[in-house]
Structure 1
């Protein structure tokens, strides 16, 4: 299902949070295409809700960068270009490098155990060729490291970048080619964390993120 048809009615008492969650998921799974208009009146009717919480949810997604609002032209799903992709990954590099500097100099055995678990999730998703789950495991890996730095602001900034990264990934096909390479890349990051080699880790994360930009820039757009 596409667009409004993908949104389920909310007959129980709803909130802007619940509406925003449903819209966010439908944007990230491609039910709403890039550039697709979001009409609050039609959306409220589909959800069987008043316009108040719908308007609040839409504005929340505008703040998150998933929707864009232009005066006299309405609201639509954001369209990301090559410059946006590079900018998103530049932001990720700044956050992930700082988080790594903090984490690598602390006791991080629990973090390593958590990352090993994410690798298992990644392998399972790859085995099932569930590319959406692969992408989420990929980003969960990086979010886990950032959260281990125990900086509320770093985690908050990275959460926004995760959403934008998922949107980038969904725009393109065949970004995990060869698919098994993603496990090896992330295992390398774990090994460098375990070794406590800060310089090598920072060099590896720089390569990892720059390679992602290169891969996304060369990928074919997903057919809608």
Structure 2
């Protein structure tokens, strides 16, 4: 519970990249002792969202360009594998996954008018997580959970370099339609293009500088 709370605080930008985690303050806010808190911090360090610096404390990870490329490269591999497994599965499995994806896209479209970028970022990753979950492999889902948290931290920065939310939704719509039609080659290409576009948007103005999310 503590790890989930801190992870959400981080991906929402309430705990900023490079910020030190104040154990006393967090323990007081959550009304928890230091023991469980430190276990939660250790878990998040293992996930790579936090970094422990000897004799200094625990800090929120600061992303650099190579981190972004690694995150989206692994996401491409996992989502492509999930898409392939889905298409090899039963029609009902594909249909059920598509229904979930349609609902998420509907919510994303509803957030366009409100310009709620944090909600759009959350729904963006919910879409991709649902695609991976559709294959039914619990270990893939567990691995992807960490990537989703890291990606949400990155996606929030797209508000500056990728203001056209309608284009973002269109990219997801294309992925959904290709999955629904069973177009394997088209779907894998669309996933790869989507990941490459995200990296391009995130790195366009940073040139190996730490990303401010």
Larger RCO (CA within 8 A; separation ≥ 6)? 2
1:57 to 29, 40, 52: 40
State the structure with more CA Rg: 1
| Alignment pair present for 1:100 and 2:83 | yes
| Alignment pair present for 1:174 and 2:174 | no
Q: d(CA) in 2 for partners of 1:205 and 1:48? A: 43
Residue pair 1:173, 1:222 contacting (<8 A) in 2 also: no
Superposed, 1:131-210 pairs within 5 Å as: 131-171=117-157, 173-210=159-196
| Alignment pair present for 1:118 and 2:104 | yes
Q: d(CA) in 1 for partners of 2:212 and 2:104? A: 26
Q: Secondary structure at the match of 2:58?
A: strand
Query: Which 5+ residue runs of structure 1 have no aligned equivalent?
Result: 1-16
Provide, for residues 91-130 of structure 1, a one-character-per-residue CA deviation record: whole Å limited to 9, x for no partner.
1011001001111233111222111111101101122111
| Alignment pair present for 1:86 and 2:50 | no
Q: Which residue of 2 aligns with 1:13?
A: none
Identify which range, 170-179 or 85-94, moves more after superposition. Answer: 170-179
1:174 Cα deviation (Å)?
2.3
1:40 Cα deviation (Å)?
1.9
Q: d(CA) in 1 for partners of 2:200 and 2:46? A: 27
Identify which range, 118-127 or 167-176, moves more after superposition. Answer: 167-176
Query: Which 5+ residue runs of structure 2 have no aligned equivalent?
Result: none
1:75 to 42, 47, 58: 58
Q: d(CA) in 1 for partners of 2:37 and 2:19? A: 17
Q: d(CA) in 2 for partners of 1:207 and 1:172? A: 16
Q: d(CA) in 2 for partners of 1:42 and 1:116? A: 41
Q: d(CA) in 2 for partners of 1:99 and 1:188? A: 16
Normalising by structure 2, we get a TM-score of 0.89
Provide, for residues 167-195 of structure 1, a one-character-per-residue CA deviation record: whole Å limited to 9, x for no partner.
11234542442111011111111111122
- RMSD of aligned C-alpha atoms? 1.8
**Paired positions, count:** 206
Residue pair 1:146, 1:155 contacting (<8 A) in 2 also: yes
Q: Which residue of 1 aligns with 2:4?
A: 21
Provide, for residues 70-104 of structure 1, a one-character-per-residue CA deviation record: whole Å limited to 9, x for no partner.
21222111111110000000110110010011112
Residue pair 2:17, 2:212 contacting (<8 A) in 1 also: no
Normalising by structure 1, we get a TM-score of 0.85
Residue pair 1:174, 1:219 contacting (<8 A) in 2 also: no
Provide, for residues 116-158 of structure 1, a one-character-per-residue CA deviation record: whole Å limited to 9, x for no partner.
1111011011221110110111111111111111111111111
